[in-house]
Amino acid sequence: MKQRIQVTRILAAAAILGLGALLALQAQAKTASADEIAERLQPAGELCLEGMDCGGAAVEEASGPARSGEEVYTSVCAACHDSGAAGAPVIGDAAAWGDRLDKSMDDLASSVINGLGAMPPRGGSNASDEEVMNAVEYLVEASQ
């Protein structure tokens, strides 16, 4: 019986504290100006899609001579293909590459250019089509 009274008192105190906090928040909301409320409701960011003029500098494709397959692999692909992160087949593991090696180079390059599974388009880089093909050839040669 004594425990029940203590639990009841604790619950009553918690309810009173909760009600007090709710009333304080309501009072604060009533004193906030319309400008302050509008400022709090502003979006956290903006979305800029390809082709839209969003006032910033567009990401430019790499210029100059195409990088070699090894250069592209080292700077972009190795992050996942060295460790197998996100299910990426590890370079040099012929078993992991088995079904992929049956596809044409164009099909493999298309998967990289367009993205596949957890891999974003172009592996998340600005590599040109030629550089993607170089990297695919490098990976395939190293994984047979």
pLDDT tens column, 11-60: 888 999 888 888 877 776 666 677 887 887 888 777 777 777 776 655 55
Locus of tokens 């909760």: 18
Distance CA 72, CA 124 (A): 12
Residue 21: its pLDDT value, please?
83
Averaged pLDDT score across all residues of the chain: 85
Q: pTM, whole model, 2 decimals?
A: 0.56
Distance CA 71, CA 95 (A): 24
* Higher-confidence position of 139 and 21: 139
Side-chain half-sphere exposure of 126, counting CA atoms within 13 A: 6
Distance CA 129, CA 122 (A): 9
Distance CA 16, CA 119 (A): 53
Percent of the chain with pLDDT over 70: 90
pLDDT tier at 62, thresholds 50, 70, 90: low
